[in-house]
Amino acid sequence: MELRIQKLSKRYPNGTQALADVTLAVKPGMFGLLGPNGAGKSTLMRTLATLQEADSGSATLGDVDVLRDKDAVRRLLGYLPQDFGLYPKVSAEELLEHLAVLKGISHAKERKQVVSALLNQTNLHAARKKALGSFSGGMRQRFGIAQALLGNPRLLIVDEPTAGLDPEERVRFHNLLSDIGRDVVVILSTHIVSDVHELCSQMAVLDKGRVLLTGEPQAIISRLTGRIWRRFVEKTELATVQAEHRVISTRLVMGRTRVHVYGESSPGAGFEPVEPDLEDAYFATIKGHVQDAPPPTTQAVG
């Protein structure tokens, strides 16, 4: 079941163009939606989750019209928003059972089996009787995935799921998402480049409401081979280097400022070539140095 988005647009009353002709084809598996804060990622996720309206365009999940047949979409949807509330005094098991009823799992025995399986899948079974208010950030996120998986969704949307997680919880969450993404369409919306690199077989870069780039992460990285150059500079030099070169990123490494520069050939003395990674590809795309090729034009013959 493929998700197809065609020329989806949304402008807010304050004039912000949140989405501008967004077109994507998302097959089953993990799809990374990468972009800075304010890129339009959450607007796109909320629109696909039937929580807000688009101004124009279309979206279909298989043969279901996402924008018009919202009840049908909700039966196929699992959603973990960036911020979600929990009842702090209720146990994980109790709230999951309640949500299962709302999801239409009315038979008590079936519901108990489903809840138990999801708690095991998200490694929360041992904590099932604990109040949700006592959960760590990672446990809360895993509970969020458990509730999103109720009803065996065909489309799972997760919005900034690893923000704020410690390294151990982040790895655990990655493993969980990877297992889920084998059979369903999973859209991972994030600004954390490494999440996409580690999890997703397909991705898109979104900025200012527009899709700048789509493809396989490794293929995107390969396009930058021989075009990324590195140099350590003094802080007093940084402004000059930024003015003279196409700097895509700067980072402090052991107290020294390291710059990565985009260039078809060596930018000059002191620069050395480096193997590009997805972070380089992301920043080069945002800076306008890498983009999808425009569709070929056709001319009428006659």
Query: Each residue of 264-299: pLDDT tens digit?
Result: 999 998 999 999 999 999 999 999 987 765 444 444
3-215 folds as Rossmann fold (3.40.50)
Give me the sign of the Cα torsion angle 27, 44, 176, 169: positive
- As beta bridge partners, residue 195 has none
Closest residue by Cα to residue 200 from 3, 33, 45, 25: 33
So what's the pLDDT on residue 293?
A: 52
Strand, helix or coil for residue 281: helix
The C-alpha atoms of residue 102 and residue 223 are separated, in whole angstroms, by 48
So what's the pLDDT on residue 140?
A: 87
Closest residue by Cα to residue 204 from 289, 278, 297, 154: 278
Tell me how crowded residue 79 is: count the other CB atoms within 10 A of its CB: 22
The C-alpha atoms of residue 214 and residue 282 are separated, in whole angstroms, by 11
Residue 166's Cβ-side half-sphere holds a number of Cα atoms within 13 Å equal to 5
240-252 tens-digit pLDDT? 999 999 999 999 9
Q: Nearest 10 degrees: CA dihedral of 141, 147, 153, 156?
A: -20
* Element at 104 (helix H, strand E): none
pTM exceeding the 0.95 threshold for the entire prediction: no
So what's the pLDDT on residue 160?
A: 84
* Burial of 199 per CB tally in 10 Å (0-12, 13-18, 19+): buried
Name the stretches of the chain with pLDDT < 70: 292-302
Spell out the SS3 assignment of 122-138: CCCHHHCCCEHHHCCHH
Phi/psi class of residue 301: alpha, beta or left (left: φ > 0; alpha: ψ in -120 to 50)?
A: beta
